[in-house]
Amino acid sequence: MERETLAKAYEPGRIEKKWYDFWLSNGFFRPRIDPDRSPYVIVMPPPNVTGELHVGHALTMALEDIMIRWHRMLGEPTLWVPGSDHAGIATQVLVEQDLAREGLTRFDIGREKFVERAWVRAQKSRRAIELQHHLLGCSCDWDRDTFTLDEAPSKAVRTAFVRLYQKGRIYRGERMVNWCPRCRTALSDLEVEHQDTEGHLYYFRYPFVEGDGFLTIATTRPETYFGDTAVAVSPNDERYRGAVGRRVRLPGTGRDIPVIADEAVDPTFGTGALKITPCHDPTDLQVADRHNLPHVNVFNLDGSMNAEAGACKGLDRQTCRERVVEEFERQGLLDHIEPYSHMVGHCSRCRTAVEPSISLQWFVDTKPLAEAAIEAVRSGEIRIIPDHFTKVYFSWMESIKDWCISRQLWWGHRIPVWYCSDCGALTVAVETPTSCSGCGSARIEQDPDVLDTWFSSGLWPHSTLGWPDDTEDMRYFYPTTMMETGYDILFFWVARMIMMGIEDTGKVPFRYVYLNGLIRDEQGQKMSKMRGNVIRPDDAVARYGVDALRYALTTGNSPGNDLSLGDAKLEAGRNFVNKVWNATRFVLQATREWRATSSDTRPAMPAPTDMTDRWILSRLNRLVTSVRALMAEYQLGEAERQVQEFLWSEFCDWYIEFAKLRMRQTNSAGAAGGSGSPAPYLVAVLDAALRLLHPFMPFVTEELWQTLQPTEASADSVSSIMVSPCPEARPELDDPVAERVVGAAIDIVRALRNARAERRLEPQDRLDASVFSGAGLLGQLRALVPAIESLARTHIQRVADRDERTGATNTERAIVLADAEVVVSKASADEAGRICAQLEKEAEATRSRLQAIEARLDDAVFVAKAPADVVARQRDLAAGLRDKLERLEAERRDLG
Ligand SMILES: [Zn+2]
Ligand SMILES: [Zn+2]
């Protein structure tokens, strides 16, 4: 009697929540600290609290859950720390959009109210994200759930800042930064997206101050000319030899600026004379600093023009540009305008064109941090999977620039620096000070800025484990084992965790970095709302179940490679689950008696004697060895594919079919479940295969595994497949002979089935065949002949040694296999005639379909008007039909 009966059909919705609650309430996600064993630890990349999880998160969560469940079943103390990220600028922009709908800005409600609203939003999103993790089956330890703005990580952030400051690795300085005029904050280079933009190149004439004539310069940004402090030419440019050293007038400003020579000027761009605007272009700033030129900023923080723009003061950038061009034209100083497309940086959060600006910001001196981080990977202390990203990592780290960590936002970790209005000293402290560290004055005020989100996420592996405190978690679980994330944030995030982890703790934050690819649709297109091809994980789960979604995301997927996801893959996942479900139903029913007679602890599996039992146990052994090796190398997708293939093909399609035949025989002999019964092996192999599959498809495997467990054991002990041991290979069950014999039998059945199909035989039609094999195999193969006959619906007239085989006659066909040869009777003349006629008919139908499609493709109007994908589908269809036609014709030739 099984523990519970298995429903007829697999309904994911019925079992998923039940098992997640069961795991959670039994504390299976919580690790036990065991000083004698080293733990396996993953700290989850914290999703942003800006909305729900998308399918990319589902991939990350599936991969991490597979790793975690696998290592838990290996018996390691396993910890997966969940969490979420406050996502500074991203959340702030959303709150601002909420406000905008009410006709308000953040300045209308003030900082305190704004932060309150952001908290409400964040908490709501956190809860939704947590529930989605439950839905996906994530076996993380919710007792350790952390939010980047929680007290503990906040303390870590301030501590890290203060220490870096005291070491001189954090400084405040005026630098060129990317400024988003809408968000009114500095952005890191990584928060800027460069887009090809159709613009213009304006040719302006700057008159010489002394003498006649002018210099013509080309610019894409006329409005910045108020900030010009020089015109530069290349030192080798013959055209301007006489101009260097003279001065030109900036029209309408009353300012004169020098003409200088600098190597940075590209003589082939525009006229070869470049206006130098130090405050609004990074290259110009470098030129200006080489020549000691003044800096003139022309923008307000919101991107409007400041007083330097004279009459244009207060205008926005675009209006000012138009006004400047008109003015140059009016004065006859506009040479001409050309269309020109160039890259323009945009804020990745709000899409506003970014303004490179000089401002006072906080920076981390990253060079020394990067050196240690490079060394950690070079020495192999951290291994990046796949390996080819290591090179990318090095090249990025070697050219790293100082990291601007201050943001002029309200949502985030406030910079732990207080300014004294009496003596001007800075107080930099972990705990909020009440007085100036320099003069003791109470008139101190905290820096209004917050830290870049990536500063707190850079501390994530150690801040979640309790650093800077000396906690048990920190001592036992740090360094963590694995950092799994998308390859697109290797620099954004992974590199920073390595730098900050080593800097703060003296140890690497993790041993492995596993980079997963991006998800595309079935056509290989990136998923986006605009394209309408987004698959929401919740929708996929509702339609196919979690296990099918996880299967579709991970089977055959290899690290670092993008993968495509669509209904076909999700359906394949569901079909596989159904297959395993039905196989288990069969096993339960077929082993009912055996399971009823066994005692509370199952008797040890008897040594197998039947060839197919020996075969399946040996194949299982091979699978276990292979899967363990693949998992150790993080080839998760291939491991899963092999488990699937074993279950689907070897177990379901062959072993169960062999077992059915044997049981039919013993049943008729009245010896069900007796010695020689496949029952113990059916249960043992399925049990092991389910355990191998569990990390990939946690829900269905738990449901099925539970039904296989002895009833008696369930009374007072709670067991779960997720804490059951991972199957181990048993070398004594390796059986090359059985693999060869059953392998040959399977090949023979396949060959005979093909022969039947080619002759278009109906199930009741008889096929005659002979089997020849080597002397070594023959005796054992003979025992499988009844099974072969039954599975291939073939009458085997003769089984003999290969040496005894005489050449095939005219009416026979020989099929050579690896370990055997099969001779089948050919179709009789009558039969051949019948098949020919059938082939003819099929060919005719195919030809007329093909003609119809070709006619449509020849129609120029159709090809021009129909959407490209419709035309492409018609072309594919035509190609497929042409192939089919060729195949039919070849088959016909073979017959004649
Ligand atoms: Zn912005
Ligand atoms: Zn002071």
Q: Which of 878, 760, 762, 720 is nearest to 29 (CA)?
A: 720
Euclidean distance between CA atoms 580 and 644, whole angstroms: 9
Q: Which of 24, 54, 26, 42 is nearest to 83 (CA)?
A: 42
Asked if 467 contacts 474 with a C-beta cutoff of 8 angstroms, the reply is: yes
Confidence of residue 831 (pLDDT cuts 50, 70, 90): confident
Among all ligands shown, which has an atom nearest to the Cα of 420?
A: 2
Q: State the sign of the Cα–Cα–Cα–Cα dihedral 544, 548, 549, 553.
A: negative
Residue 349 Cα to ligand 1 middle (Å)? 5
Euclidean distance between CA atoms 298 and 296, whole angstroms: 6
SS3 annotation, 31-50: CCCCCCCCCEEEECCCCECC
Euclidean distance between CA atoms 111 and 620, whole angstroms: 63
How confident is the model over 734-757, as a mean pLDDT? 93
Share of the chain residues as helix, strand and coil, in percent rounded to the nearest 5: 50, 20, 30
Ion ligand 2 neighbours (CB, 5 A) are: 420, 422-423, 425, 436, 438-439, 441
Looking at the predicted structure, is the pLDDT value of residue 852 above 70? yes
602 vs 149, residue with greater confidence: 149
For the chain, count helices (H), then strands (E): 28, 29
Residue 774 pLDDT: 85
Helix (H) or strand (E) holding 832: helix 829-858
Q: State the sign of the Cα–Cα–Cα–Cα dihedral 524, 530, 532, 535.
A: positive
Residue 598 pLDDT: 61
Among all ligands shown, which has an atom nearest to the Cα of 423?
A: 2
Residue 422 Cα to ligand 2 middle (Å)? 5
Q: How far is CA 201 from CA 220, 240, 874, in A?
A: 5, 21, 45
CB atoms within 10 A of CB 59: 25
- Strand order, beta sheet including 78-81: 78-81, 40-43, 480-486, 510-516, 383-385
Q: State the sign of the Cα–Cα–Cα–Cα dihedral 524, 525, 526, 532.
A: negative
pLDDT digits (tens, 9 = 90+) for 160-171: 999 999 999 999
Burial class of 842 by CB neighbour count within 10 A (0 to 12, 13 to 18, 19+): middle
pLDDT digits (tens, 9 = 90+) for 683-710: 999 999 999 999 999 999 999 999 988 7
Looking at the predicted structure, is the pLDDT value of residue 354 above 70? yes
Percent of the chain with pLDDT over 90: 65
Residue 32 Cα to ligand 1 middle (Å)? 45
Euclidean distance between CA atoms 791 and 653, whole angstroms: 11
Asked if 875 contacts 840 with a C-beta cutoff of 8 angstroms, the reply is: no
* Structure tokens that stand for 22 in this block: 């069961």
* Structure tokens that stand for 389 in this block: 């990203």
Confidence of residue 599 (pLDDT cuts 50, 70, 90): low
Residue 667 pLDDT: 63
Residue 160 Cα to ligand 2 middle (Å)? 24
Confidence of residue 1 (pLDDT cuts 50, 70, 90): very low
CB atoms within 10 A of CB 670: 7
Q: What crossing angle do the helices spanning 636-645 and 679-693 adopt, rounded to 10°?
A: 160
Average per-residue pLDDT in the chain?
Answer: 90
Asked if 183 contacts 349 with a C-beta cutoff of 8 angstroms, the reply is: yes
| DSSP 8-state code for residue 54 | -
Among all ligands shown, which has an atom nearest to the Cα of 353?
A: 1
Q: What are the two backbone dihedrals, phi and then psi, of residue 710, each rounded to the nearest 5 degrees?
A: -60, 135
Q: How far is CA 705 from CA 74, 182, 724, 870, in A?
A: 18, 56, 10, 46
Residue 193 Cα to ligand 1 middle (Å)? 11
pLDDT digits (tens, 9 = 90+) for 150-199: 999 999 999 999 999 999 999 999 888 889 998 888 888 778 888 888 88
Residue 170 Cα to ligand 2 middle (Å)? 21
Task: Point out which residues pair with 364 in neighbouring strands.
Answer: 170, 403
Q: What crossing angle do the helices spanning 55-73 and 537-544 adopt, rounded to 10°?
A: 60
Average the pLDDT over each of 87-91, 194-198, 774-778 and give the range with the smallest value: 774-778
Residue 185 Cα to ligand 2 middle (Å)? 28
Looking at the predicted structure, is the pLDDT value of residue 89 above 60? yes
Residue 410 Cα to ligand 1 middle (Å)? 14
Residue 363 pLDDT: 94
Among all ligands shown, which has an atom nearest to the Cα of 433?
A: 2
Residue 602 Cα to ligand 1 middle (Å)? 65
Helix (H, G, I), strand (E, B) or coil at 380: coil
Residue 419 Cα to ligand 2 middle (Å)? 8
User: Which position has the token pair 């400003």?
Assistant: 253
Residue 442 Cα to ligand 2 middle (Å)? 8
Strands 450-451 and 426-428: unpaired
pLDDT digits (tens, 9 = 90+) for 279-335: 888 889 989 989 999 999 999 888 899 999 988 999 999 999 999 999 999 999 999
Euclidean distance between CA atoms 829 and 813, whole angstroms: 14
Residue 347 Cα to ligand 1 middle (Å)? 5
Residue 362 Cα to ligand 2 middle (Å)? 20
Residue 178 Cα to ligand 1 middle (Å)? 10
Residue 436 Cα to ligand 2 middle (Å)? 5
Among all ligands shown, which has an atom nearest to the Cα of 427?
A: 2
Asked if 45 contacts 514 with a C-beta cutoff of 8 angstroms, the reply is: no
Among all ligands shown, which has an atom nearest to the Cα of 96?
A: 1
Q: What are the two backbone dihedrals, phi and then psi, of residue 288, each rounded to the nearest 5 degrees?
A: -60, -40
Residue 428 Cα to ligand 2 middle (Å)? 12
Beta strand spans in 56-114 (E): 78-81, 83-84
How confident is the model over 527-552, as a mean pLDDT? 89
SS3 annotation, 498-536: HHHHHHHHCCCCEEEEEEECCEECCCCCECCCCCCCCCC
Residue 441 Cα to ligand 2 middle (Å)? 5
Among all ligands shown, which has an atom nearest to the Cα of 93?
A: 1
Measured in whole angstroms, the distance separating CA 98 from the mean position of its chain's CA atoms is 30
Helix (H, G, I), strand (E, B) or coil at 444: strand
Measured between alpha carbons, how far apart are the two ends of the chain, in Å? 59
Residue 89 Cα to ligand 1 middle (Å)? 8
Residue 418 Cα to ligand 2 middle (Å)? 10
Residue 776 pLDDT: 82
Task: Point out which residues pair with 780 in neighbouring strands.
Answer: none
Following DSSP, what letter does each residue of 556-587 receive, concatenated? T--TT--EE--HHHHHHHHHHHHHHHHHHHHH
Among all ligands shown, which has an atom nearest to the Cα of 355?
A: 1
Helix (H, G, I), strand (E, B) or coil at 309: helix
Euclidean distance between CA atoms 265 and 273, whole angstroms: 8
How confident is the model over 356-384, as a mean pLDDT? 94
Q: What are the two backbone dihedrals, phi and then psi, of residue 214, each rounded to the nearest 5 degrees?
A: -155, 165
Asked if 206 contacts 214 with a C-beta cutoff of 8 angstroms, the reply is: yes
How confident is the model over 747-760, as a mean pLDDT? 90
Residue 604 Cα to ligand 1 middle (Å)? 67
Euclidean distance between CA atoms 426 and 443, whole angstroms: 12
Residue 489 pLDDT: 85
Residue 190 Cα to ligand 1 middle (Å)? 13
Helix (H, G, I), strand (E, B) or coil at 672: coil
Residue 600 pLDDT: 55
Looking at the predicted structure, is the pLDDT value of residue 713 above 60? no
CB atoms within 10 A of CB 794: 24
pLDDT digits (tens, 9 = 90+) for 548-582: 999 999 998 889 889 889 899 999 999 999 999 99
Residue 671 pLDDT: 42
pLDDT digits (tens, 9 = 90+) for 415-442: 999 999 999 899 999 999 999 999 999 9
Residue 501 Cα to ligand 1 middle (Å)? 30
Residue 443 Cα to ligand 2 middle (Å)? 8
Confidence of residue 672 (pLDDT cuts 50, 70, 90): very low
Residue 427 Cα to ligand 2 middle (Å)? 8
What global pTM score does this model have? 0.84
Asked if 263 contacts 235 with a C-beta cutoff of 8 angstroms, the reply is: yes
Confidence of residue 4 (pLDDT cuts 50, 70, 90): low
Q: What are the two backbone dihedrals, phi and then psi, of residue 604, each rounded to the nearest 5 degrees?
A: -55, 145
Average the pLDDT over each of 184-193, 233-242, 345-354, 458-467 and give the range with the smallest value: 184-193
How confident is the model over 7-36, as a mean pLDDT? 93
How confident is the model over 812-832, as a mean pLDDT? 83
SS3 annotation, 721-748: HHHCCCCCCCHHHCCHHHHHHHHHHHHH
Among all ligands shown, which has an atom nearest to the Cα of 444?
A: 2
b/e burial code for range 497-533 (CB count within 10 A of at least 16 → b): bbbbbbbbbeebbbbbbbbbbebbbeeeeebeeeeeb
Residue 361 Cα to ligand 2 middle (Å)? 21
Asked if 13 contacts 693 with a C-beta cutoff of 8 angstroms, the reply is: no
pLDDT digits (tens, 9 = 90+) for 210-236: 888 899 999 999 999 999 999 999 998
Looking at the predicted structure, is the pLDDT value of residue 715 above 60? no
b/e burial code for range 362-394 (CB count within 10 A of at least 16 → b): bbbebeebbeebbebbeeeebebbeeebbeebe
